[in-house]
A = this chain, B = another copy of it.
């Protein structure tokens, strides 16, 4: 069988199903390219699967011919793929799953928390008030105006936007919150973003996790630990959301007042 295991964001997120499947695995593949986990999590995993073959997969290792080879091998042994967050919230592992399913190989999925749910729950915003989420990528070819349009579109429907920032681990280019803010303000052709209450999220699940809420443009002033970074741009806030941002994410009191007075 082929087992996809979501690791969540920190070692405490590991669940009982994950531990069971790691125990019965013949071969372990660790996805090291879709995101980064805390260092002690990797050490913990290595202890849990001691004595088994571990492959550290990089981009491309679970696609194309390799995906077919692994799906083929999973006919005769238990192969487990460990992945940060949830295995299927991003789309990277869809291809290998389809290869396995098409061969009639048993596929097991162990879900876990992802940045998507953890970021929303962390800062006390309401999940049904989120619109489409989007990833802000480096503007290699052209400026990513589509991202601005998703944010505008969500704002026009009174919906918050979760914005994941580019994470190119192999090129060692990991987008930081201040870069993202510059990029977005430069593209903000209707000037809607500057004063929006927003949340900056750095290294969620790590010991050095840092989450702060402030006016969008003010989020540049803080000092953040290393990426992964993400941003939430809020729309109209419910009073309880506002209180959560104040108590949990250190929204400055003057911003709390400013929003309440409107």
Contacts and interface: CB of A to CB of B under 8 A. Distances in A.
Contacts of A134: 128
Interface stretch (A83-91, A176-184, A212-220): A83-91
A86 B101 contact: no
A117 B89 contact: yes
A124 interface: yes
Nearest to A118: B111
Given A118-B111, A124-B94, A13 B15 contact: yes
Interface stretch (A25-33, A55-63, A73-81, A241-249): A241-249
Given A86-B113, A131-B132, 19 more contacts: A12-B15, A12-B16, A15-B15, A15-B16, A90-B127, A94-B244, A97-B244, A98-B240, A98-B243, A98-B244, A98-B247, A101-B247, A101-B248, A111-B117, A112-B113, A117-B117, A128-B132, A129-B132, A132-B159
A256 interface: no
Contacts of A102: 243, 247
A14 interface: yes
B88 A121 contact: yes
Given A97-B244, A244-B98, A117 B86 contact: yes
A50 to B, nearest CB: 18
A126 interface: yes
A127 B13 CA distance: 21
Interface in A96-144: 97-98, 101-102, 109-114, 116-118, 120-122, 124, 126-135
Contacts of A227: none
A121 B243 contact: no
A24 interface: no
Nearest to A101: B247
A52 interface: no
Contacts of A88: 120-121, 124
24 contacts: A8-B15, A8-B111, A13-B15, A13-B16, A15-B15, A15-B112, A86-B113, A86-B117, A91-B126, A94-B124, A94-B126, A94-B240, A94-B244, A97-B124, A98-B244, A101-B247, A101-B248, A111-B117, A111-B118, A111-B121, A114-B117, A116-B127, A128-B134, A132-B159
Contacts of A169: none
Contacts of A89: 117, 120-121, 127
